[in-house]
Amino acid sequence: MDHPDPGPGKLRPPRDSGTLTLKDLLDLIESALAALPDLPLEPAALRDALALERTRDPAHGDFATNVALRLAKPARRKPRDLATAIVAALPASDIIERTEVAGPGFINFHLSPHAYAGELARVLEEGPRYGAVPASGEPDRHEPTVVEFVSANPTGPLHVGHGRQAALGDALAALLQSQGHAVQREYYYNDAGVQIHNLALAVQARVRGLKPGDTGWPENAYAGEYIQELAADFMAGKKEHTQDGGEVRASADVDDLDGIRRFAVACLRNEQDLDLQKFGVKFDVYYLESSLYADGKVEATVNGLVASGKTFEQDGALWLRTTDYGDDKDRVVRKSDGTYTYFVPDVAYHVTKWERGFHRAINVQGTDHHGTVARVRAGLQALDMGIPAQYPDYVLHNMVKVMRGGEEVKISKRAGSYVTVRDLVDWVGRDAVRFFLVMRQPNSEFTFDVDLARSRSEENPVYYVQYAHARVSSVFRQLRDKGMTHAREVGARNLHRLTAPHERALLRRITQYPEVLTTAARLLEPHQLAHYLTELASEFHTYYNAHTFLVDDAELRSARLNLVTATRQVIANGLGILGVSAPETM
């Protein structure tokens, strides 16, 4: 028996989201509860007790609720008796085929063919908009949201971990937009600090003819062929355009370390931007760490921390009492040499997010940044600006291991010590990289199997999903070749003929799509959408292999073609959110 989960996974969407049938069911149950005179609860409390869940086994209906179990104690009634009373009080509705009380007091709902027909008609009518929620006046959606991701140091090519961030961050932003949120994609350029200095030293050493491992090669300097390329371009006096419309011209002066730094950063920023464009990711804003210093925001943040009374001096350094906010130890703000620790500009940066009106901020970062979570939040709390304690939200991901030919690939010739995003895209294509990098929970260990990503088999999930879309398109090419017709109106009137188990299973899966979007956006889990698309593709391929669509019976043919058209539409919509194409042929 399927038991509804009363926890965070329960389905109680806003009235302008989710499927029509789900909202209608919620309304019907609320009406039934209101009709029971002996429930000593306010309407708001009754609504809070109401949760619906999709059943795992169709034999137990389409939806189930445990509302009777949750209300039995305040109502002073046995759960099963209360469930029976709720069922009896349900208003008549053409979306319910039958209801049943199960176990100690669960209520199972079996949807009628009319309910499925209505939702299928909605898919066909709304097309690319199906599953999306228009922007509304609800406060949690009306507030602008900033999603920050990638935010790589401009010190080298983007590695596979950055690729996972790019795929996750862009999919998260698209999911939130699908639910009516106003979203800004933001890239924070760490263009200040010791890493940038090490980059300049590496390029300068290459200009002087040194190689990694030579005597005199700077400690912690970057290696890889790209450093030699930067050195050659610098000595050739090349110029590089900057993203603000300016340009940086190489001075070809080996002693011009600042000029080397500016030239190398400009080159690598442009290279990273080109890689992201090739990956299909575009940002609305690029925010420079250096601007926080130039605009006095880091200094203002430190002054604010001192004014809060949460700092203290020790050993010539300025410390913040982060333990007051749950950190495991207090943290240095300003070192004894007068420089700031790396978390200070991070706090200043998040102050700017708040001040720019982004009262919801989501950061997609690697798990190696886990330690900064408590420090940044502690710094924001110490400033006493009214920022919530859990601001910002974090989505932390594990790194990616790349396998090829049964062996782990650890080195890229150009990058020197890691596999780049460009390597993966060149090997398997953008679609496979983007799908693979979001199809697992972010905090899970993930192995990117290059050979699997290149295979044309059902074991390759992105191929399997895209092939379902292409297969539907091939059906319509066959329709034209055979001189047959597809009348949507005729199909809509005959959806009651879709009675085969494979047809009911596919209908059931299609109508789950809006709920999947709502849940994936709420939990910040795009892998749920990737998993759903794989299941939908599986249902379709099973249906395709078991039934003939282009039958002589025009009514049945049109009904089946309506069903597969809706399947294709939902696959295209879902792939679009993940940044993956929906091909017509494969």
Q: Are 381 and 325 in contact (CB under 8 A)?
A: yes
Q: What pLDDT is recorded for position 426?
A: 95
Inter-axis angle of helices 430-438 and 461-481, to 10 degrees? Answer: 130
The span from the CA of 405 to the CA of 41, in Å, is 64
The span from the CA of 447 to the CA of 402, in Å, is 6
Q: What pLDDT is recorded for position 138?
A: 60
Q: What pLDDT is recorded for position 17?
A: 44
The count of C-alpha atoms lying within 13 angstroms of the C-alpha of 27, restricted to the half-sphere facing its C-beta, is: 14
The span from the CA of 22 to the CA of 20, in Å, is 5
Q: What pLDDT is recorded for position 16?
A: 43
DSSP run (H or E) holding 286: strand 285-288
* Residues 174-203: tens digit of each pLDDT: 999 999 999 999 999 988 888 999 999 999
Q: What pLDDT is recorded for position 141?
A: 58
Which amino acid does the sequence have at 243?
Q
* Residues 411-454: tens digit of each pLDDT: 665 666 788 999 999 999 999 999 999 999 999 989 999 999 99
The span from the CA of 312 to the CA of 309, in Å, is 8
3-state helix, strand, coil in the chain (%, to 5): 50, 15, 35
Euclidean distance between the first and final Cα of the chain, in Å?
41
Q: What pLDDT is recorded for position 37?
A: 81
Q: What pLDDT is recorded for position 108?
A: 96
Q: What pLDDT is recorded for position 42?
A: 73
* Residues 4-39: tens digit of each pLDDT: 433 333 444 444 444 667 888 999 999 999 898 877
The count of C-alpha atoms lying within 13 angstroms of the C-alpha of 150, restricted to the half-sphere facing its C-beta, is: 27
In sign, the C-alpha dihedral spanning 264, 266, 268, 271 is: negative
Closest by CA to 1, choosing from 81, 69, 93, is 69
The span from the CA of 382 to the CA of 379, in Å, is 5
Q: Are 11 and 53 in contact (CB under 8 A)?
A: yes
Q: CA Rg, the chain, in Å? A: 29
Backbone angles phi, psi at 398, to 5 degrees: -80, 165
The span from the CA of 473 to the CA of 456, in Å, is 18
In sign, the C-alpha dihedral spanning 479, 484, 488, 494 is: negative
Q: What pLDDT is recorded for position 1?
A: 43
Q: What pLDDT is recorded for position 58?
A: 87
Q: Where are the alpha helices (DSSP H) in 369-512?
A: 370-382, 421-428, 430-438, 450-454, 461-481, 488-493, 501-510
Give me the domains of the chain, ranges plus CATH numbers: 20-111 (3.30.1360.70), 461-577 (1.10.730.10)
Q: Are 185 and 444 in contact (CB under 8 A)?
A: no
Write down the residue that tokens 């030919």 correspond to.
405
Inter-axis angle of helices 113-126 and 554-577, to 10 degrees? Answer: 60
Listed as ranges, residues in the chain with pLDDT below 70 are 1-20, 41, 43, 135-142, 411-416
Burial of 198 (0-12, 13-18, 19+ CB in 10 A): middle
Q: How many CB atoms lie within 10 A of CB 427?
A: 18
Contacts of 219 (CB under 8 A, 6+ apart): none
